[in-house]
């Protein structure tokens, strides 16, 4: 079983829509959690850290559910510029394990 798994999508949504997707992780000893955004042929860029209490950054909301071992990302009021691949990452012992990414395409 992969350490981090994501629904690859793609999620095709119209501008202004809300889109949400999850990521599951297998190791309960995982210590910290992140969402990254990766554009085609580019490096990943940190979108936000994910905390148990949930956190919000503008139109983006992330949640962590330790009991069920998943994290989620919700994007409200989608913009064309949100089109990208979203990678979840899990930190254990200072090493990051990444999921394969969820592709989101926002259409006009």
Return d(Cα 10, Cα 104) in angstroms, integer: 6
- Determine if 66 is a binding residue for another protein (CB under 8 A): no
Residues forming a β-bridge with 20: 74
- Residue of 28, 29, 41, 81 that binds another protein (CB under 8 A): 41
Reduce the DSSP state of residue 82 to 3 states and report it. helix
As a whole number of Å, the CA-based R_g of the chain is 13
Q: How many other C-beta atoms can be found within 10 angstroms of the C-beta atom of residue 73?
A: 23
Piece in contact with another protein (CB under 8 A), picked from 34-42, 52-60, 65-73, 75-83: 34-42
Q: Of residues 1, 29, 43, 67, which one binds another protein by CB under 8 A?
A: 43
- Shortest distance (Å) from residue 60 CB to another protein: 18
As given in the structure block, the two tokens for residue 57 are 């950054």
Residues in contact with another protein by the rule CB under 8 A? 4, 8, 32, 34, 41-46, 49, 87, 91, 94-101
């Amino acid at each position: 079983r992969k350490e981090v798994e994501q629904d690859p999508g793609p999620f095709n949504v119209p501008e202004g829509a809300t889109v949400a997707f999850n990521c599951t992780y297998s190791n309960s000893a995982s210590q910290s959690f992140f969402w990254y955004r990766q554009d085609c042929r580019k490096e990943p860029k940190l979108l936000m850290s994910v905390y148990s209490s949930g956190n919000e950054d503008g139109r983006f909301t992330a949640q962590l559910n330790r009991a069920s071992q998943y994290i989620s990302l919700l994007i409200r009021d989608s913009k064309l510029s949100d089109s990208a691949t979203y990678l979840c990452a899990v930190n254990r012992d200072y090493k990051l394990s990444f999921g394969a990414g969820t592709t989101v395409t926002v259409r006009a």
